[in-house]
Amino acid sequence: MDKLRVDIWLWATRQLKSRSLATSAARAGHVRINGEPAKASAPVRVGDEVRLRIQGFDRILRVLDLPPKRLGAPAAQQCYQDLTPPRPRYIPVAVRDKGAGRPTKKERRQLEALRGEEWARDRRR
């Protein structure tokens, strides 16, 4: 087998609890293969890089094997290499002064520039 649907691969390697959750994640745009947004039926091959957004963080996985069925946890870990950088211990939360009201258009653009281009693009979907 040289390719496998990405939703099946995510489910078989225990990244998500059910195949329907994997399909929903792909539909919502939380799955990327080699940097490109992927549908649930997109094929994944050995050597591909799969990015999965879970709980606001990206998991970066390199595909090492394509399992024919769902595997136990130790065997599933042999099917991918986790390239995810460690999560920060503390995530600073932006706080706006009480009574400042809504941000103006100029302030909003400055915030989007500060957060990065990818964040702004994802928010517009």
Q: Using one digit for the tens of pLDDT, what is the confidence trace for 45-96?
A: 999 999 999 988 899 999 999 998 999 999 999 999 999 999 888 877 778 7
pLDDT at 56: 82
User: In this model, does residue 120 exceed pLDDT 70?
Assistant: no
∠26-24-67 over CA atoms, to 5°?
65
Edge-to-edge strand list for the sheet holding 80-82: 36-37, 31-33, 49-54, 57-63, 80-82
Q: Over pLDDT 90: what percentage of the chain?
A: 66
Q: Are 85 and 66 in contact (CB under 8 A)?
A: no
pLDDT at 41 over 90: yes
The confidence score (pLDDT) of residue 114 equals: 83
CA distances from 48 to 3, 6, 17, 34, 67 (A): 10, 11, 22, 6, 14
Q: How confident is the model at residue 1 (pLDDT cuts 50, 70, 90)?
A: confident
pLDDT score of 121 more than 70: no
Say which amino acid occupies 99: G
Most confidently predicted of 59-63, 109-113, 120-124: 59-63
The sign of the dihedral angle between the CA atoms of 79, 83, 88, 94 is negative
